[in-house]
Amino acid sequence: MCLSSLKQSGLPRTLSTTFSADSMGKLLSGFHTPTLSTRLRYLVIAVFSLTLGIWLHGTLASVFAIHYLAFEAPEAPIPNQHVSPATLYDAIIVGGGPSGLSALSGLARMRRNVLMIDSGTYRNDPTRRMHDILGFDGVPPAYFRHIARAQIAHYNTATMVNGTVTAISPVSATLDRDEDDSSSFPTDPTYPTYPTLFSVVAHLDLPSQKLENQTLYARKIILATGLRDILPSTPGVAEAWGKGIFWCPWCDGHEYAHQPLGILAPLPKVPGLVREIHTLNGDMVAFVNGTDTPEQRAQAEAEHPGWAAYLASRNISVENRPVARLVRLGGDEEAFKDEEWRQFDMLGLPSVAHRDRFRVEFSGDGDGYVERAAFLANFPTEQASPVGPDMGVELVGGRMEVNNKEGLLTNVPGVYAVGDANSDNVTNIPHALFSGKRAAVFLHMALEEENEENEKRPNVMRSVEKMGLESTQGLVKRHEKLDVRDVWHLMNGEPESPLYAR
């Protein structure tokens, strides 16, 4: 039975909209363990659904649909979205793609007081499904982020907010406050001499209000700001990006295996791309867009000696005419109507063949066109955000340079760069997850070393205690041995303070 017949049969209309994302997520997230009553209910509903399915000439899909409905995932907690300029965060993470989320998860699990600010322009947003991420193969990227956020929201020292960071600056370890500054940021002259402290200016889009140019403070920064793809202006390219044009064979190649493929790249890049994808596609045309010139051939020879013979041996033809436009002839929109395909998808299979089709039209002399199912492309990228370079983080090959041995630390002390944006030159989600975790581990240890140093100095220690309250609202450092008097000290400040009550 298909979804439309489920709807017609009077089952909740929301099923059709929630099924592909929500139920898949319940399945994948492992959030819930069914109780006995849920199991009983499942049994009853499954029997009912089988009967209904048979009655409506249904298929196994109906049973699965009801199965998902019968399992109630617990409500995800609402993420902590309270930001405070009076807080000294252990770390602020800029960017909430997979690398930022990974860093956030690691730090939250260590009870670090960490804030993630995310402007929500994810690099893989255009794609329909993400692949080669164990346990999440074939799910929509938004869904992956949803599950990640819902899980991290269980850790109450993590704060996630929507917003854009516009500037980050190192600040002097001893903070002075302007006369008219009404913020409650600590001004104690014995303020801990942390080796690194940063002010972060951001536009924040909080549930209750929008805050412009809000200044926040953190001891460490993780830049998880990602890359931006620079697409050519050729008509049809932007529309097909991530939906027929892909750059990563590992991410999208399998869905077009054995289909007629085009390569969109300058000539010298073609042999490398063919090497990457040849196990998937035999029928390939390289659209080099006028770059088959003596100079480019020489460059191809320098980069891939014997390239021409290699392409010939793989039966790759090179089309040098400038590409005027790509015209979509068909796509998954058609396939979505195909119930058989859809039901496979509903069963959560990781890889389903895509059905895109395009016509490549040329400018200049000569008519004719070439039809292809999809394209492997090589387009340039740039940093998605200037905040790292603006604060002095050095770039190498357009990526923020990091020291792997120092846990992906940049040249700016206290600033780490993770994910696509860093100089690892690996741009995929497994790397984003790994690098976020790596930076989190090193950052966590660095903070602890600094704390240890500070605790050796009694005057700093006093402020650290005070800071413990300011920075953590009691969450990060658990004051397990507090007696009533200690609590009084923490709540009322220092003995010399006018507010201090004996």
Ligand X SMILES: Cc1cc2nc3c(=O)[nH]c(=O)nc-3n(C[C@H](O)[C@H](O)[C@H](O)COP(=O)(O)OP(=O)(O)OC[C@H]3O[C@@H](n4cnc5c(N)ncnc54)[C@H](O)[C@@H]3O)c2cc1C
* Residue 388, number of CB atoms within 10 A of its CB: 25
Q: Which range binds ligand X by CB under 6 A, 222-230, 279-287, 403-411, 475-483?
A: 222-230
Nearer to ligand X, 11 or 222 (CB): 222
Q: Is the dihedral angle over the CA atoms 275, 276, 280, 282 positive or is it negative?
A: negative
Min CB(244)–ligand X separation in Å: 10
Q: Is 427 near ligand X (CB under 6 A)?
A: yes
Report how far residue 368's alpha carbon sits from residue 326's, in angstroms, rounded to the nearest whole number: 13
Q: Which range binds ligand X by CB under 6 A, 2-10, 185-193, 414-422, 474-482?
A: 414-422
Nearer to ligand X, 53 or 95 (CB): 95
From 111, 112, 123, 354, residue interacting with ligand X (rule: CB under 6 A): 123
Q: Which range binds ligand X by CB under 6 A, 7-15, 54-62, 230-238, 428-436?
A: 428-436
From 90, 332, 420, 450, residue interacting with ligand X (rule: CB under 6 A): 420
Report how far residue 100's alpha carbon sits from residue 117's, in angstroms, rounded to the nearest whole number: 9
Nearer to ligand X, 58 or 96 (CB): 96
Phi, psi of 51 (to 5 degrees): -60, -50
Q: Is 124 near ligand X (CB under 6 A)?
A: yes
Q: Which range binds ligand X by CB under 6 A, 126-134, 181-189, 301-309, 390-398?
A: 126-134
Cβ atoms of 163 and 118 within 8 Å: the answer is yes
Nearer to ligand X, 111 or 355 (CB): 355
Binding track over 431-450 against ligand X, x by CB under 6 A: -x------------------
Nearer to ligand X, 201 or 461 (CB): 201
Q: Is 130 near ligand X (CB under 6 A)?
A: yes
What are 214's two structure tokens?
């809000």
Site for ligand X in 143-172 (CB under 6 A): 164-165
Q: Is 94 near ligand X (CB under 6 A)?
A: yes
Q: Which range binds ligand X by CB under 6 A, 16-24, 146-154, 402-410, 419-427?
A: 419-427
Q: Is 200 near ligand X (CB under 6 A)?
A: no
Enclosing H/E stretch for 223: strand 210-223
SS (H, E, C) 230-256: CCCCCCCHHHHECCCEECCHHHHHHHH
Q: Decide the pairing of beta strands 369-372 and 374-377.
A: unpaired
What are 46's two structure tokens?
């499954």
Report how far residue 169's alpha carbon sits from residue 167's, in angstroms, rounded to the nearest whole number: 7
Q: Which range binds ligand X by CB under 6 A, 172-180, 303-311, 318-326, 424-432?
A: 424-432
Report how far residue 423's alpha carbon sits from residue 417's, in angstroms, rounded to the nearest whole number: 9
Nearer to ligand X, 229 or 301 (CB): 229
Nearer to ligand X, 99 or 113 (CB): 99
Burial letters for 261-283: b for 16+ Cβ neighbours within 10 Å, e otherwise? bbbbbbbbbbbebbeebeebbee
Report how far residue 181's alpha carbon sits from residue 40's, in angstroms, rounded to the nearest whole number: 62
Nearer to ligand X, 330 or 430 (CB): 430
Phi, psi of 170 (to 5 degrees): -65, 140
Min CB(228)–ligand X separation in Å: 8
Identify the burial level of 258 via C-beta atoms within 10 angstroms of its C-beta, where 0-12 means exposed, 13-18 middle and 19 or more buried.
exposed
Establish how many alpha carbons lie within 13 A of residue 144's alpha carbon, considering only the half-sphere containing its beta carbon: 27
**β-bridge mates for residue 191, sequence order:** none
Report how far residue 134's alpha carbon sits from residue 179's, in angstroms, rounded to the nearest whole number: 54
Nearer to ligand X, 87 or 124 (CB): 124
Site for ligand X in 242-281 (CB under 6 A): 242, 248, 251
Identify the burial level of 15 via C-beta atoms within 10 angstroms of its C-beta, where 0-12 means exposed, 13-18 middle and 19 or more buried.
middle
Report how far residue 436's alpha carbon sits from residue 155's, in angstroms, rounded to the nearest whole number: 17
Nearer to ligand X, 34 or 232 (CB): 232
The residue assigned the tokens 């009912």 is: 48
Min CB(160)–ligand X separation in Å: 11
Q: How many residues bind ligand X (CB under 6 A)?
A: 41
From 79, 95, 106, 253, residue interacting with ligand X (rule: CB under 6 A): 95
Q: Which residues contact ligand X (rule: CB under 6 A)?
A: 94-100, 117-124, 126-127, 130-133, 164-165, 224-226, 229, 242, 248, 251, 384-385, 387, 419-421, 427-430, 432
